[in-house]
Amino acid sequence: MKKRDFIKTLSLAALATPLYGSVLHSSLEEVVSTTATDLASNEDFWLKVRSDYKLKPDYINLESGYYNIIPTPTLEALHKHINMVNYEGSYYMRTKRVNDKKRMAAKLAAIIKSPTKNVVITRNTTESLDLVIKGMNWKSGDEAVFAIQDYGAMRMMFEQVANRFGVVNKIVSVPNHPKSDEEIVELYANAITPKTKLLMVCHMINISGHILPIKKICQMAHSKGVKVMVDGAHCVGHFEFDIKELECDYYGSSLHKWLAVPLGTGLLYVADEHIDTTWPIFASHTKESGNIAKLNHTGTNPVYHDLSIEDAIDYYNMLGGARKEARLRYLQEYWTKQVRALPKIILNTPKESHRACGIANVGIEGIIPTDLAKRLMDEYKIFTVGINGKVVRGCRITPNVFTTIEELDIFVAALKEMAA
């Protein structure tokens, strides 16, 4: 079957999808005794999961890192929330909105195993972490530590506080293929001085998929009196973790990515001892000591997106966090193992399973990453994104639970052909 015909067949099948609680629910009953690891390679099961998505037939989508297409059940729930809020109008906003938002925050807290009192809903990771950066009591000469691989929006906020308050930014570069956790911890430790006030670190580096040893970094930083802010934009809904075990001070994530919530939803976690010392971006009616709501005055935001958090979490829980994590890691390793040792192909993601999950980055010698992304789309109908970074140069590849092995086979064949 030709590539375009194959893509069209799969996508048309997705358009005829049974809804939430039918195909997927019955499929889970059939595999209840199967381990997540064994289920990861069960293509029949994941084709049924794919049936809950409406996918554009024009290309193979390997760019789930920017925005995750949400499954049909969550999308339909969003439409119901929009209709309800419009139907009730100001009555909803004045009598139900606040309590509903608290309930959504409690659901989110459960996903990351956090006490509810430490979590608020934001619009995305950028808002969450910029709130922390801008909300600190900076003094001239204070230092901040972060990596060149960190997301641009936060790096720009650090530049802003440097220009405004005289903060000194210390920038490190995380190796793509570290020899050990200790190598990474030492890298950050060497950048810390008695003047260091805040260390920002990615839980998963967005451009390479590299998962960092957050707990060890936090313990090191705390031993030197430095607070740690974690960028977890790609982590919630991607792989399971207990935020208490990370021992971080602040954590931000985007829910429109791997938790597959509609656009405009994020998460901020703040440890108890920092809630009262962080200045909010917008002044809040909440004045109570220790109440994280003071950091979350958002005004009249699109509340139906917040309401959809519950539906996305219900879908995620039904699929199972361990199952999703195992599948995403399986898909990444399925294609990376086939090309990692090939001439001219450069993998910018560690090969150790505990250092990566669904995201990986690949380049080809002699081809600029943006040109590689363009050729993949123009010649092979594969959509991805080129990263022209100083340390990471390649295309970020982010398959999803709806991605098939056949699609990855087409991708691998394309890489081999271009690298020949």
Domains and CATH numbers, the chain: 3-64+322-419 (3.90.1150.10), 76-314 (3.40.640.10)
334 vs 323: CA distance, rounded Å: 16
Over pLDDT 90: what percentage of the chain?
A: 86
Distance from C-alpha of 142 to C-alpha of 121, rounded to nearest angstrom: 29
Q: Which residues pair with 229 in a beta bridge?
A: 200, 250
pLDDT digits (tens, 9 = 90+) for 187-230: 999 999 999 999 999 999 999 999 999 999 999 999 999 999 99
> For 267-325, how does the pLDDT look when each residue is reduced to its tens digit (9 = 90+)?
999 999 999 999 988 877 777 888 888 888 777 889 999 999 999 999 999 999 999 99
Please report the pLDDT score of residue 4 as a whole number: 52
Model pLDDT, residue 282: 82
Is the predicted pLDDT of residue 124 greater than 80, yes or no?
Answer: yes
Q: What value does the mean pLDDT take over residues 318-334?
A: 97
CB atoms within 10 A of CB 128: 29
Q: Which amino acid is at 16?
A: A
3-state secondary structure 155-168: HHHHHHHHHHHCCE
pTM over 0.85: yes
Closest alpha carbon to 241 in 205, 282, 213, 219: 213
